[in-house]
Amino acid sequence: TAVLLRDLLAEDGSIYVHCDWHAGHYIKAVMDEVFGYENFRNEIVWCYSGPSHQSRDFPDKHDTIFRYSKTDKYIFNPESIRVPYKKSALATGRTTLTGRADVERLLEIDKRGKIPEDWWADIGNIGYRHSEILGFPTQKSEPLLERIIKASSNEGDLVLDCFCGSGTTPAVAEKLNRRWIAADLSKYAIHITRKRLLSIPDVKPFVIQNLGKYERQIWQSAEFGEDNQRRQLEYRKFILDLYHAKPVNGYEWLHGIKSGRMVHIGSVDSPVTESDITNIASEFKRAIGKGENAPSTNGIDILGWDFAFEVNEIARAKAELAGLDLKFKKIPIDVMDPKAVEQGDIHFYQLAALKVKPQLEKRKLTIELSDFIIPQEDIPEDVRSAISHWSQWVDYWAIDWDFKGDTFHNQWQSYRTKKNNDLQLKTSYIYDKPGKYTVAIKVVDILGNDTTKRIQVEVK
């Protein structure tokens, strides 16, 4: 990661690496090797206070931030980060350790302030800024990122946070008129960041990109080898293990069995389509009741990374007519996170079903969410018991009024916040000209899962 970030860093750029006492010395050695000892600029000690349970040691109340540059021609803006003196120059009458100055000079010095030292005790951790708390254990406060971004970039520069978490870096960069890129493996982190950015007045348009199949292909090759046949077998076995299913042999479309239900594992590089489901169902009918690995129920669990639009509703309806019980479950991106796998924190949630009520009056289209059906058998009881109306499952929804089949353009949205938990369930849009339009509606539920529905309208 450090090598890649060095290559991406601008010639006049800086990188800040935050760590605690557990790994700081190891990280420093790696950064010296990658960026060069001569480009080490600061070891910043970020101090904070608060209650501690430590009684046999000095309480751990600081983190370390290593600052490196790529070259010796780096941006540093001291005037933008000056802070007041703890005790004014006028009060002490000093300008240096030995020198003195007149009142006018001392007032000027007080007004200008000083450049912060490399130990920062004036910026607390997130605990003292309750309005910012979003539930991330390593969340940084906005004043901390404001000092860093102001010091090492100018307006219009590009700021990258490749572990954005709760989105503090892009939020502060946006407010300071910097361009930004934020990345995170957690879909929950991306969702929280999206809502945080949308809450900024006059936020500039941004897009959420998913590396999708390319990221998964790289992960699959790195994890399971280059030989295609072996890679596919090992990949399916890995997913089946996480799903607590038993592998089965002799089938093309059926890969495992769990509690009498057959299991299909979707490919990393293509969505599960209606055609795939037809093949799965045909093979299932030939397999039922034959051999020890045969299904003992009429159920099939279809696990996929992506699903074709509305395959959940269309394929399920056809399957019911054929006497099959299909469950569509999303393979979570967490399976690519070794830490989540090691902790066993992997959940395969069923796809939800979204219902909308469109109403067209001339060129005015009104869309209303009419129902959001989320299968609840995999949902924790404490979450289920807190839901009294279907709309409480919805955390965010957005509309692309003219979806072209490629990128979803967020042209309207409503979402819940800590301050306002209300959600608007109906909205309208007036088209400029007549024509046939595809409207895409995207919902993100409280579990962080996406559900998208498309409808066709003809504006006259």
Q: Which residue ranges make up each domain of the chain?
A: 2-81+116-209, 87-115, 225-343, 353-459
302 and 266 Cβ atoms separated by less than 8 Å: yes
Q: What's the pLDDT at 90? A: 52
The span from the CA of 312 to the CA of 276, in Å, is 12
Diameter over CA atoms, the chain = 99
pLDDT in tens, 56-71: 888 888 889 999 999 9
Kindly report which listed range (52-61, 245-254, 409-418) carries the lowest average pLDDT score: 52-61
Q: In the structure encoding, which two tokens stand for residue 352, read together?
A: 């939800």
Q: What's the pLDDT at 97? A: 45
pLDDT at 150 over 80: yes
Q: What's the pLDDT at 126? A: 60
Kindly report which listed range (4-18, 104-118, 234-248) carries the lowest average pLDDT score: 104-118
Q: Among candidates 11, 166, 2, 167, which has minimal Cα distance to 74?
A: 11
83 and 116 Cβ atoms separated by less than 8 Å: yes
pLDDT at 391 over 50: yes
pLDDT in tens, 371-384: 998 887 778 888 88
Please report, rounded to a whole number, the percentage of residues in the chain having pLDDT higher than 70: 91
CATH pick for 353-459 out of 2.60.40.10, 3.30.2130.10, 1.10.1670.10, 3.30.360.10: 2.60.40.10
Q: Among candidates 134, 239, 148, which has minimal Cα distance to 160?
A: 148
Q: What is the mean pLDDT of residues 96-103?
A: 55
pLDDT in tens, 251-277: 999 999 999 899 999 999 888 988 999
Architecture of domain 225-343: 3-Layer(aba) Sandwich (3.40)
Contacts of 187 (CB under 8 A, 6+ apart): 332, 333, 448, 449
Q: Does domain 2-81+116-209 have CATH number 3.40.50.150?
A: yes
Which tops the pLDDT comparison, 154 or 121? 154
Q: What's the pLDDT at 173? A: 98
Q: What is the mean pLDDT of residues 129-144?
A: 69
Q: What's the pLDDT at 98? A: 47
Q: Can you list the pairs that 308-316 forms with residues at least 24 positions away whose Cβ atoms lie under 8 Å?
A: 308/271, 308/272, 308/273, 308/274, 309/452, 309/453, 309/454, 310/453, 310/454, 311/271, 311/272, 311/273, 311/274, 311/277, 312/351, 312/352, 312/353, 313/353, 314/274, 315/274, 315/277
Q: Among candidates 258, 243, 254, 448, which has minimal Cα distance to 331?
A: 243
Question: Strands 299-304 and 261-265: what pairing?
Answer: parallel
Q: What's the pLDDT at 263? A: 96
Query: Which of 151-155, 336-340, 376-380 is most confident?
Result: 151-155
Would you put residue 165 in left (φ > 0), alpha (ψ -120 to 50) or beta? left
